[in-house]
Structure 1
């Protein structure tokens, strides 16, 4: 089944997202997605990736994966080349599912889970806008505007936020109340006042809902080892489920030291790409939970290998989503087929707003769990309104 065309689409309203559609001579179209640096990835796809795969069989997924991800350019990084390869790989799996009439999780060996537990990342609708890539909310900066303004809520009213999540059936939430302090000192020093402000968020959550919800703490790789350990020693009393990316994820040894001394489970990392980086962190005993982003690590093909590697080390996985709806759907398929998957990240602010306008189907969230999709392939397509948007930018490459 020959690949005849590759088309990419971007929207001004979601400038970090890029959708990739791969067309075949049989008329089947596969959908992929990646995130951040959308224009650069788009350029790479059409200038470098398209000539390598146009005219090739869309069903030779492993071979094309090797060409795009294990080739000379961009090897072992999470930059433009890997993000392009990831989006293309997701689209190829979507094609395979449609050809066989099976959901992707069936092609990965079948479902290990009847449903997948979700946790809510407490971001707001504008969290990943181009002008505000990460809102560093400080106490008193703003007020909650609506029910899903979760990034402001976890600072201004964390107890009420936790209660609302429990009422919706969520068993876990993720917050990052120390990011503002990290930005102020470039991650080199945490003051007593900043420490207290961050800890109060956890204290209010525990007072409001007790242990009815797990609380993950995201650090966005913003701290040095000394400061990260200072926070961990104080944070431990509130029983965080994990500390995510407490350091830059480029030193497995330093992270292993942190894990040993902090005595808080460590999660990492959406920022890592390909098996090698995860192998090094697992071999160094630096991780308790393995988080991977399918649009940054190499797509479904590479993600299933990382998941198996984690399983060999008896570590659970929790795929990342704070990006786009296609990656969320692909991640759900991977999680359902992975015996060591324990959580799928979701952002209820995204699910309840703009995700609905981008694709035809979304995962069904019910009482804190994502249900198994039953349609072939990913089970979703790009919404017709996306390309009809006057501000949509599309680019197309075709086989000779």
Structure 2
């Protein structure tokens, strides 16, 4: 078994962190361990895990590496540690696939599909011009879109705010018709009373799902929100392990889960979460407003998960002002979207070839992205 002899971390624009792991016989695996806006913190966590548990060890026993990184430090879970584990796990699976000259999904049991549907973001953080942007994206071939529901909301906001959110969705629906799906992201910006009001008001325009209608620390309130609507409820981007998801499965209020392959423990953990979801008749739509390694990891899990519904991807997303997903790929055609779908890659490992020279060049840039801090009119901090 070839041992791990070296690793490097690269902070690259717009807001990503890439991990390169090398084995004694020269194989290279790539991962994307990052929390948006906390790349420096996750970088330190990756270094700690690699130096303590992984460097000098054989690359092959991925499950043992995962258990050691998760359980070996006594304190466990949370976005930083689970994202660090996720990136290392992705790189180990990339190495294993290259070792056996097979895509990761083949090593996980084989494909359940030939391609996965993708959706495109429209409208930005403060949603605007959504109808015009929706037309453009549908004309470009997308059959599913997602938009933010609102800007910041008060705990109990006025009727005009609700009407504006409804009007935006109505405009998109009128622009693209009934054959295009439109997800609406509440982004955890919405309190329980406003989530109930918004869900009921949006329902006539039939969104594909409402996402993160309440913050994950209020998941116990999802049943109350679900009781006010027939719209499918999605959540999970800020949940980091199968134990976090266990409670929402048992509650029965969630229809679509959205674990992030760079936050929720990587390929090893999200495949387990997807299988748990299948047992509860819950679909999976992995969260991924991130870079090419994260997206490739998502697609490998989508490929072999029968309950995969749709895949988020960040091409032309509002965060990607300086660099985009395919810029870091030697062959950008691997993410060639056609008729609203992307084919399952057949290349070994994660199925992508990273342009290492470009990564090194971009890592020379000053990368220090942080999410905005929004405030209400009275000066108090609002949810972004």
Same fold by TM-score greater than 0.5: yes
* Mapped pair 1:219 → 2:186: yes
Corresponding position: 1:271 with 2:241:
no
The equivalent of 1:101 in structure 2 is 101
RMSD over aligned CA atoms reads 2.0
Aligned counterparts, 1:58-137, within 5 A: 58-72=59-73, 74-78=75-79, 80-122=80-122, 135=125, 137=126
Displacement, 1:192?
1.4
Give the C-alpha shift of residue 393 in structure 1: 8.2
Q: 1:262 aligns with which of 213, 229, 232?
A: 229
Cα contact 1:361–1:379 (8 A) shared by 2: no
Counterpart Cα distance in 1 of 2:359 and 2:56: 27
Matched, 1:359 2:312: no
Question: Which residue does the alignment assign to 1:145?
Answer: none
Task: Map 1:191-206 onto structure 2 (within 5 A).
Answer: 191-206=158-173
**1:123–1:347 Cα contact (<8 Å) kept:** no
* Cα distance in 2, alignment partners of residues 33 and 73 from structure 1: 24
Matched, 1:376 2:341: no
8 Å Cα contact 1:269/1:291 also seen in 2: yes
**Alpha carbons 2:10, 2:363 under 8 Å: kept:** no
Give the drift of 1:215.
Answer: 1.0
Q: What's the TM-score once normalised by structure 2's chain length? A: 0.88
Match of 2:4 in 1: 3
Matched with 1:385 is 358
- Deviation of the 1:114 alpha carbon: 1.1
Contact 1:162–1:213 (CA<8 Å) still a contact in 2?
A: no
Structure 1 position 56 matched with structure 2 position 23: no
CA distance in 2 between partners of 1:41 and 1:190 (Å): 36
Q: 1:347 to 1:312 in 2, by over 3 A?
A: same
Partner of 2:262 in structure 1? Answer: 295
Tell me the SS of whatever aligns to 2:78.
coil
Q: Is the 8 A contact 1:122 1:347 kept in 2?
A: no
Query: For residue 174 of structure 1, what is the aligned residue in structure 2?
Result: 146
Q: Aligned equivalents of 2:168 and 2:225: distance in 1?
A: 23
User: Relative to structure 1, is the Cα distance of residues 165 and 283 closer, same or farther in structure 2, using a 3 angstrom cutoff?
Assistant: same
Q: How does 1:322-341 map to 2 (within 5 A)?
A: 322-341=289-308
TM, length-normalised to structure 1: 0.85
Mapped to 2, the partners of 1:390 and 1:69 lie a distance apart of 28
2:9 and 2:17 in contact (8 A); partners too: yes
Cα deviation digits, residues 14-48 of structure 1 (max 9, x gap): 2x311111110111010000222111111122234
Using the TM superposition, give the Cα deviation of residue 73 of structure 1 relative to its aligned residue in structure 2, in angstroms: 5.0
Whole-angstrom CA distance in 1 between matches of 2:115 and 2:285:
14
Q: Is the 8 A contact 2:62 2:89 kept in 1?
A: yes
Structure 1 residues 345 and 48, CA gap change in structure 2 (3 angstroms): closer
1:348 paired residue number: 315
CA distance in 2, matches of 1:393, 1:90: 25
CA contact (8 A) 1:9 1:393 kept: no
Aligned-partner SS, 2:33: strand
Mark the CA change 1:194 to 1:252 in structure 2 (over 3 Å): closer, same or farther: closer
Aligned length: 358
SS in 2 for 1:301: helix
- Alignment-derived partner of residue 372 in structure 2: none
Aligned in 2, Cα 1:71/1:264: closer, same or farther, shift over 3 Å? farther
Q: Provide Cα deviations, 1:176-209, integer angstroms capped at 9, x if missing partner.
A: 131x142xx2xx0221111111111111112222
Give matches, 1:242-261, under 5 Å.
242-261=209-228
Question: Equivalents in 2 of 1:155, 1:392: separation in Å?
Answer: 31
8 Å contact from structure 2 (residues 184, 210) kept in 1: yes
